[in-house]
Structure 1
């Protein structure tokens, strides 16, 4: 499973299409969870300063024995550190916790639109990218208007927009905005924290293909070209979430899952969340 399909970002960097997320995993448990993921075959790990578990991620990487160039590590800039200078300080602090000299993707975690600080922060990320401290830069939870304001600065177009996206909240306008601007969409909470696992089209597809409902949903994401970062601390689920390349959903199955779209948001709304 180490030869996973990859998505090529707008600067030519490639990222495995299925990665391992560590949101809500306590730091004390993160090393073991990430170690299991790496042993299973994951090569992309997504963390954030706000998660409080970068240290555990770093320990798992250090003890994995894997070459650094085989791994894709993402972390994120928190709202309190939005700003050109503070972004630099925040990444250096993240690198120290991760025990790395660079990350592969650095994201602004939220736009926090009550101020325009994300614009200064974006210029800070451009500086860090130019210095080689990250191989790609992007954003998270940005709406189309936030993307446009960043792009209007005239510099780098974000490589990724990581947004809440799952069958109950498909965020179609934001995903479409990314496509036309050359920005890859990465889905956080791709399983809606389990809320869509019992939906009839998902259960029916799982039975038809002899897989789990979670595998059906992750396959739905993959077939539509998105990057996904499912999270689990259970070894069997960690393995199952990566094993989504041995079957293919039909056009009808995809359409039935598409029809589940509703206002099923599990996290904050980017237009109003300011940390």
Structure 2
């Protein structure tokens, strides 16, 4: 039924026998727990949720269309089957020299890539960085793995930053402290992230850092990376300084606007001085 549909339109639709379609969307990068919550909250679905939680990373990221009478169990089973099929399909087309021991490792790394960047034009390069690091025995040092280790499938609260001390907190997922991959995926990866890991960019890059515009700057050497980090920190400081200046100017403007009474006896407007 379309928004603003008239009663006549609705009656014509009912008489036509067409089914009313509903949709359920599971975006890329949600954890299994977060995806299950979406299914549980979909009022048009019937039935209880499954008694057991599927493994992390095992649900497809997709939009499912359904009619009244569909059950939550059916939605979960469909997402599980679709993800299994997708993973097997992409895994079969992987590059021959990937330093990944199994399809489980493949999904785990794809979930990390999924959480590291939402930019389609750099996913394969982010994947290449992590694969290059694995091949050299370097730790992945991925911030999203810290978050998953601390908060699990519920995800980090929106107002909770990553503290420097979090990097040093030991969890099985903290890739600043552990060697290799974490024990499980940290989210449900979509097709693009899976494809990026299966066939990464051909590059020697070992590092990347945010560029301040939503993307990343890549580097093959630590010296180059440190220069990129310094530029990013300088940009962050510049933005912080501009924000502070804008805040001060706004406060001054509000102060002037709020001063409606003229100073007493030609004074400077200080109420304490005028009362003496």
TM-score range, shorter chain: under 0.3
Query: Normalising by the residue count of structure 1, what TM-score does the alignment of the two structures yield?
Result: 0.21
Pick the structure with more strand per residue: 1
Pick the structure with more helix per residue: 2
Query: Normalising by the residue count of structure 2, what TM-score does the alignment of the two structures yield?
Result: 0.20
